[in-house]
Each structure stands twice: as structure tokens, then as C-alpha cells.
Structure 1
């Protein structure tokens, strides 16, 4: 509609300017014609032949006709403009926008709108809002019903807030850039996001902003809703075993009066289905490791070691996965083959082999293959990439895949990996959570002196891949301390060797004394 208004205005403007120029030309022509007639009579047509005068008169008549045409056209254009304006006013709810390239009405010469079609540029077009697909690790279908109205099917959770873990592949790519290049490794972006996402609920201001940015979480409330849906979906999925579990721990030895804030604990219970426990330093390592062992079906039996028991609060996430291939590999087809490592060394490994129709994609410098698990909800993706760099736009790689007949050779493998993720998170931009003086975590708990901060982020993973399928687990533990929270110490017993004393060196296993003596006289060095 705006284009029509603009067209009418421009046509009317040009017509007015033409009429003005034609009147001036007509006046000048009349004066010249009169002078020509007088001169012709006087000079007997020597300077202005009669034929020229006739042609001039003919031109004037044609110009008069053209002027009459424009005089008739102008009212019609004005009427059309008023009609369009009236129709627009009847149904329009927004003010009319004037096209930015409307020609000026001050007499400045512009191009005739009838001589060129209007040009549409990106700057003059306002796009309609487009509903973006959920940016989550779950498969999305553009034709599926609204998540808020369609029931869950086959264990797939449906939530309108599933964009919260987005972009998950961005976090994954950023994370993998910081992994070691000289060993096998495996990390769980989901487990890290879940554990640190719990902490973000108690973080404030700059600390929260840094943490959410590092984890590629766009909106914390949406993340919480997504976590709740994902936990419920995974824990009820019956095609294979996939479990998510979370827990909160308070060390009464280091902070006897500490307690999680009601709002924080309610969020952890509601969104993360987290259980709360109170322990002492003496039992902390054993009990937390026991919880980890149970939640990972024994695949990971510990996350803490002796010496890591003096924490104030701990947030722990466990992820367990065990699934059979949709079509298992034949053990009879497994045969030894050569694996060439990154450093060029060659190793003989058992290779599983199968030829079947699988989702496959390829492009410049890469190949991508999908091996589905039973139930077809989960898949293992195998990516061969010439430059060895994990792509930040993995979703686009996956979207371009199609079913093709593929002969797959995959080695059986097992690997374990442990990581203290402090430096990793700092490199991703989350530095403030580790600052003893400036970490803003006051929304987590109360009842202890000093400022709460993260002392360590422990991450551990295990995976086992064979002809039947895959078993894998990951655990993330976020350990916190307070600037003035320390284990209470009993009054020490004094032992001052400032009088003569005996000394000995002994093998405690065999109870053998190696050296013995007495120091009775002080000697200057």
C-alpha cells in the first residue's frame, strides 16, 4: 500500500512540474511567435520561412494537447490517492509509513517514476517475525505440533523452553578447543552444564553473567525448565538406560550452621530433582563417592580423593548412558586392523565392520556418520575431519546428512578421562566464581562466615564401545569453600625439642630401626 501511495505522489509531483514548465514554454513561444510573425511580414519571409512557422504552430497545438492530457490526469491521480488513503484508514491499525525515497516537492528535478521500476532493497523491507526452532540437543521437526499442546511421545520431552541449552554445540566446540591434544579424552557438556547451571541459580550480577555466557546458556529460567523436562524424560525412557541425577552436599565440619537458602533449594528440588545431604569431613569423600558409584552403575566409582573433604558446599551431577545399537555389529566380522595415531605411530586394534544404510554426510575436508541406538532417539556421530578442528556449526553438518549405503569400520575402544575444569572455565570467561573475595554466590546458602567461592570443578568420564553398543558415564562436582571457613581445630599439644632428645629412623612396615641417636649438646653451625 505504501508503494502505491508513493507512486501516486511522485506522479502528481512530476505532472505539476511539467505543467509549470509547459506554461513558461508556452508564454515564451507566444512571444517568439508574435515577433516572428511581425518580422516575417516585414522581411517577407527571408529570415523565417512560412514552413517553419507552420511547424512551430503544429508543435504548439501538440503541446497544448499534452497539457490538456496532464491537466485531466492530475485530478484522476488525486482522486485515486484519496480513495487508497480511505481504504487504508478503514483497515490499518498502524500509522502509515512514508517511503524514504519519496522525491521532494520543492521543484527539484528527479527521475520520472514512469521511466524506471521501483527498486526494493533490504533496507526498505521489514521482515516478518520467524519462529526459530528449539536450539537444543533434541531433534526438532518444523511440522510438529506446538510443544505446549502436544503430548510427549516415545519418551521425547516437549517443552517450549528447550532453546535454553543453546547453542549447545557452541559450548561443545568452545570446550573441545581447550582439551589436550596429546591424549584421548571425553567430556560431557551436559553434565558440566547441569552442575554449573545449578550454581548459576545462586550466582548474582557479573558472576552469573560470566557463568551463563561460558556455558552458552541464554536464559536461566528457560534452562531450569529445560533441565526439569530433560531429567524427567531421560529417567523414564525405556528403550535404553539414560539417567541424570543431581545432589547437594553441606559439610557440617567446615560450616556447622550452613544451610541452603530456601529459594535455591526449592529450585534445585523442583528443576533438578536434587537430593540434599549433610556430611562431616570424615565421611564426605566416602559418601559422595558412594553416591557417584550408585548413579553411574559402578562405571565411575569415585570423584573425590582423600584431601578433598574440606569443602563447605558441593553440587554434584551424574550422567549414565547404556544403549545397544539399533543394529549390532557382528562379532564374527570383527578383525584386527591398523590405527594410525595423530603422531604417526601405528597400533593394531580390533575393528568392528558393517555395511548398511546409514545417515551420512560429507563435504570439503570432512566425513560424518551416524550410528543409531535402539529406539532411534540417541545416536553416536563419528566425525573425520582433515584439520582436526571440531566444528562450531555441527548442527548444519548433521542437517545435510542423508541415508546412504556405508561400510563402517570402527575400532572397539575404552577410555577414561579426568579433568579439573577450573582453568577451562576461566578460559571460557567464568573467572569470578573462583575469586575468594569477589565471587557473588550469596544466593546459594547462608550460615557461614566469609565469602563463598568455587575451589574446584572436578569432571570425570568413562566410555566403553563394542559390537553390542555403548556404556558411558560422566560426573561433575562443583566444590565450594568460604574465605573464613576452615575445619575447627582442637587445642594442640605442645612438643618443644629444646632439651636433649633421642632420634631414630624406622621402617614402619617391618618395624626396623635404621638409625638411632641422642642430641644432648647444642652446637653452633
Structure 2
């Protein structure tokens, strides 16, 4: 069944994104006429891609727990506590893992603590997680299709963009290539050409859902690390379009009619400490947890203990009949500055006096910005979501059961989308005002 376009805005977004992608492709095809080649400035490492299996990465569970914790901190970092919030915990931690490969001393220790594992154990854990997700890789342009793919597509990509004047340690480039399959580009990060490199990569690896990089050119900018995650997945049991109707949803600004999906199916259901939760599986490998707090509780204020208890219960419980009503969604929050979340995670030192000498010994670097952009659409058929996390570094100048249970999602709630086998949280949303 062809997916219904809910809003003119979504149709326009996909149309213009597709046109932009086509324009980029056409521009690259004109390299003979003086345009830049697609791989101009590409810096290659001779290191072969090393794929670590989960059995050889015992710290994977710890890194998943750390990703969950950082995701909750990021969800609370918005400047508008009454607005919808959407983050990708996995995108953030993969970007930080790229940075950690070049960190030394106290900076390395703080990153290890935040990422849940130390040194080679950390590298192996994120390598293994990326390898498991890669089993579902596909063309990110699939999000431009009218229908969701038959099997879920989870696309994850990493890149390092180096300024022309930066001398980088070869072991760092080798680590990015071997453990993270990261491409490396060289460009002038103080110029418009550098901005085009950043923008083009973001647009390509999010299928046009996120069109531009959040990083702006700057004469002091020396290195940008980029991570992109994209998901396109059908529900295992789609909702019927004929049952979608408006119901009241009460958010921070009052009660308003809201388009809601309706379904009664056998799903895993759990309740704990006043919260209710239902797990909605996609056709393979991924699921979405809908977590409804007690009335009057903001969804972003869930404690790690409550979240853990609900996840454990959902994984352990057999399916039961659930009568569910929940909003359709299209979320595209503003660019999120992750500095407050990183400070709360003990990483404030990244911005002042960081030791990143594993990246470069010729020029002291420190983090100047960590930004994330995200997009999510959810309807009767499934979910499309994308996120980009970017870490910009500058020269610092300083040396370095019974009947159906009813669950009516009619107030702010939490949405968590995860990889089922590892429980790695891919997207996390506090939905407070779902009206399109």
C-alpha cells in the first residue's frame, strides 16, 4: 500500500530533498567541466577494515548502557523544555568514539568513562556494534521512495574532514578506517568549499532528510568528525489507515485534536512505577518502545532505573492484547547544541585544554562545538528517522495476559527506537506536542 502523505510540508521536504540530491549528482557528473571530483581531497589509509564480532567485544553491553545514559542527558539539553525533543544517542556516542581514538591523558579517561569502556575494549565494542548494524545497511536514498522497504534499512556512516593545513597522525587515520570504516576528506574548512564538503556528506547519508551540516566555516576550524544514522522500517503489524482519527492530546499548551493511530494487537506490555510501556516490533531487527509516564510527569525526566526496569520487563514479558492509540509524528527540532549534556557527562574538558595529541602533535586542538540534527516521521506503515552528529575542533593555541489492556497516549510521552538484539538506542524522543 502506498504511504499516505500526511502534510504538504512533508511532501515538499522530500521533493526538494530529492531535487537537491539530484542536483548534487548532476554537479559531480560535470567534473570534466571544472567541478570538483567526488573524491578530490580524499585521504586514504592502508589499514584494512577490521570487523569485531560481539563475542570478541565483551564491553558492548557497557557501551550500550553508556549510550542510553548519554541519550537521556541529551534529551534534557534543549533550551525549550516544553517543546518536542528528538535525539540519537547512538549517533552521539559513535561520534565521541571517533574522537576518543585521538584522545590522550585525562581527556581519554573522561571519554572512556562517558562511553562505557576503556581503550581497545572501547574500540572493539563500538566496532562490533557498527558491524551488527551493518547487516541492515542499504541506500539512504530509500527514504525518498513512496513506500517503506520490505526489510528495514539502517545506514550508519562516519567521516573525518580535515583542514588543508592540519597534519594528522597516521595511526589516528588508520584507527578510523580499520575500526569505524570512516572516510577522510581534506578541504579548506575556512571557506565555502569546505562547507560544501560538509553539507554534501550530510545530505547524502541522510537521504536528504537533513540537508546541511550544522558546522560553519571558520579560520580556526581544523577538523570535523561526522556521524550519520538513518532508519527506514515497516511495522511488523501495520496500523490500518481507516482507523486513524483525531483524538484529544493534552500537552504543555493545553488540549488539542491530534491525529492518532489505533490498533489492538498482541504486543509486549509492561508497567512500572506509574509508567506504562508497549513494544512495537518492526518487520525485523528493530523495535520502538512507547513509554507513557504518570499524568503530570515530563517524559524526559524518566530515571535510568525506571527505563531499565521497563526495558527488562518488555524483553521478559510474553505478548498480551493491547488496545493502543498513539499520535502520528513528524519531528524536526532545531539544531541541538550538546555542550550542556556533555558537561553533565563529565566532558566539559573537551572544550578547554583537551589533550587530542593522538590526532595531531603539530597543532594543539580542542573541541569547539558538538551539534546534532535529527528528523523522525511515524505513520501507519512504519518509521523514517535520521540524525547527524558533528564534532568541530579548532586550534587551541594551548599545548594539549487477560483482556486487552488500554493504553491511550494522550499526554507527553517518550519514544525509544532501538536495535533489538543489542538494545542499542538509535533514537529517543520526548513528544510533548505531536500536532503537525
C-alpha separation between the residues in 1 aligned to 2:239 and 2:56?
A: 35
Instruction: String of CA shifts for 1:202-239, please: whole Å, max 9, x gaps.
Output: 111111222233x3423232221122222222222273
2:65 corresponds in structure 1 to 167
**Conserved in 2, the CA contact under 8 Å of 1:303 and 1:458?**
no
**Conserved in 2, the CA contact under 8 Å of 1:231 and 1:243?**
no
TM-score by length of 2: 0.69
**Conserved in 1, the CA contact under 8 Å of 2:168 and 2:359?**
yes
1:411 corresponds in structure 2 to 327
Q: Which runs of 4+ in 1 moved over 6 A?
A: none
Paired residue for 1:326, among 236, 239, 259?
Answer: 236
In structure 2, runs of 5+ residues without a counterpart are 1-50, 138-150, 399-436
- 1:57-456 matches, within 5 Å, as 158-161=55-58, 162-168=60-66, 169-179=68-78, 180-213=80-113, 215-237=114-136, 239-252=151-164, 256=165, 258-280=166-188, 281-304=191-214, 306-307=216-217, 310-343=220-253, 345-375=254-284, 377-386=285-294, 387-388=297-298, 389-393=301-305, 394-401=307-314, 402=317, 403-417=319-333, 418-435=335-352, 438-448=353-363, 451-456=364-369
In structure 1, runs of 5+ residues without a counterpart are 1-151, 486-525
**Conserved in 2, the CA contact under 8 Å of 1:170 and 1:216?**
no
Q: CA deviation at 1:160?
A: 3.5
Q: CA deviation at 1:157?
A: 5.6
Q: CA deviation at 1:263?
A: 1.3
1:482 corresponds in structure 2 to 395
**Conserved in 2, the CA contact under 8 Å of 1:285 and 1:308?**
no
Please identify which structure carries the higher strand content.
2
Q: Does 1:472 align with 2:389?
A: no
Instruction: String of CA shifts for 1:27-59, please: whole Å, max 9, x gaps.
Output: xxxxxxxxxxxxxxxxxxxxxxxxxxxxxxxxx
SS class of match (2:207): coil
Instruction: String of CA shifts for 1:295-336, please: whole Å, max 9, x gaps.
Output: 111111112355557510111101111100001110011011
**Conserved in 1, the CA contact under 8 Å of 2:366 and 2:393?**
yes
Alignment: residue pair count: 320
Q: Greater RCO between the two (CA within 8 Å, min separation 6)? A: 2
Distance 1:184 1:308, change over 3 A: farther
Instruction: String of CA shifts for 1:462-505, please: whole Å, max 9, x gaps.
Output: 100111100001101100010359xxxxxxxxxxxxxxxxxxxx
Larger Rg: 1
Distance 1:459 1:249, change over 3 A: same
